[in-house]
Amino acid sequence: MSINVLGQGADWLGRLPIVGSHTAVAADASAGSVSFPTPAKTRFIVQVFRSNVNIGNDVKASLTAGVLKVESGSTYKITAGDVINWIAY
């Protein structure tokens, strides 16, 4: 009798979410965006906090080719000190 451990559900590691938290710096504010590598993920959640308050309205976020990009919107502008929390899954 043989047991094939790696062949049975070994892809579970690829299903784990990738999470991160980033405090924006002046260079992020100047660039107007922050990017995070998220290989092989297709969905995401982003929250932005300023002075401990969720300011999620008008934050532009996209996930393209394994890169999660958070950008300034028409009213929201990335500011040094903003805390960007994200989950990609």
pTM of this prediction? 0.82
pLDDT in tens, 26-70: 999 999 999 999 988 899 999 999 999 998 778 999 999 999 999
pLDDT of residue 32: 96
Name the band, by pLDDT with cuts 50, 70 and 90, for residue 11. Answer: low
Confidence at residue 49, expressed as pLDDT on a 0 to 100 scale: 96
For residue 3, pLDDT over 60 is answered with: no
CA pair distance 39, 47, nearest whole angstrom: 20
Would the pLDDT of 2 be above 60? no
CA-CA-CA-CA torsion for 5, 9, 12, 13, nearest 10 degrees?
A: 30
Instruction: Please check the confidence at residue 7 and state whether its pLDDT lies above 70.
Output: no
**Residue 83: predicted pLDDT:** 97
Residue 23's beta-bridge partner residues?
83
